Amino acid sequence: MPSPKARSGSGRSGSVPCPGGNGRYEFISLNRTPPSPVPPQLLQRQGSDPTTARLRASESPVRRRGSGSSNSSTGGGGQQLPEEDCMRLNPSFFGIALSSLLAIDLWLSKRLGVCACEDSSWGSVRPLMKLIEVSGHGIPWLAGAAYCLYKSDSPAGQEVMLNLLMALVLDVILVGVLKAVVRRRRPAHNRMDMFATFSVDSYSFPSGHATRAAMCARFLLTHLVLAAPLRVLVLLWATIVGFSRVLLGRHNVTDVAFGFFMGYWQYNLVEMLWLSPVMLQSAIGQLH
CB distance 67 to 51 below 8 Å: no
Contact 232, 136 (CB under 8 A): no
Looking at 137, 189, 209, 288, which residue is catalytic? Answer: 209
209 is catalytic: yes
Task: Please tell me the distance from the alpha carbon of residue 47 to that of residue 198, in angstroms, as a whole number.
Answer: 87
Among the listed residues 227, 224, 204, the one whose alpha carbon sits nearest the alpha carbon of residue 216:
224
196 CB-near residues (< 8 Å, 6+ apart): 137, 139
Q: How far apart are CA 242 and CA 21, in angstroms?
A: 103
Residues 6+ apart with CB under 8 A from 158: 149, 152, 277
Q: Has 223 been annotated as catalytic? A: no
Can you tell me whether residue 226 is helix, strand or coil? coil
CA 116 – CA 9 distance, rounded (Å)? 99
Contact 246, 107 (CB under 8 A): no
| Catalytic-role residue among 137, 189, 251, 288 | 251
256 Rama class: left (phi>0) / alpha (psi -120 to 50) / beta: alpha
As to burial, measured by CB atoms within 10 angstroms (0-12 exposed, 13-18 middle, 19+ buried), residue 275 is: middle
Q: If 0-12 CB within 10 Å is exposed, 13-18 middle and 19+ buried, where does residue 136 land?
A: buried
**Rounded Cα gap, residues 164 and 219, in angstroms:** 8
Q: Put residue 24 in one of left, alpha, beta given phi > 0 → left and psi -120 to 50 → alpha.
A: beta
Catalytic residues: 209, 251
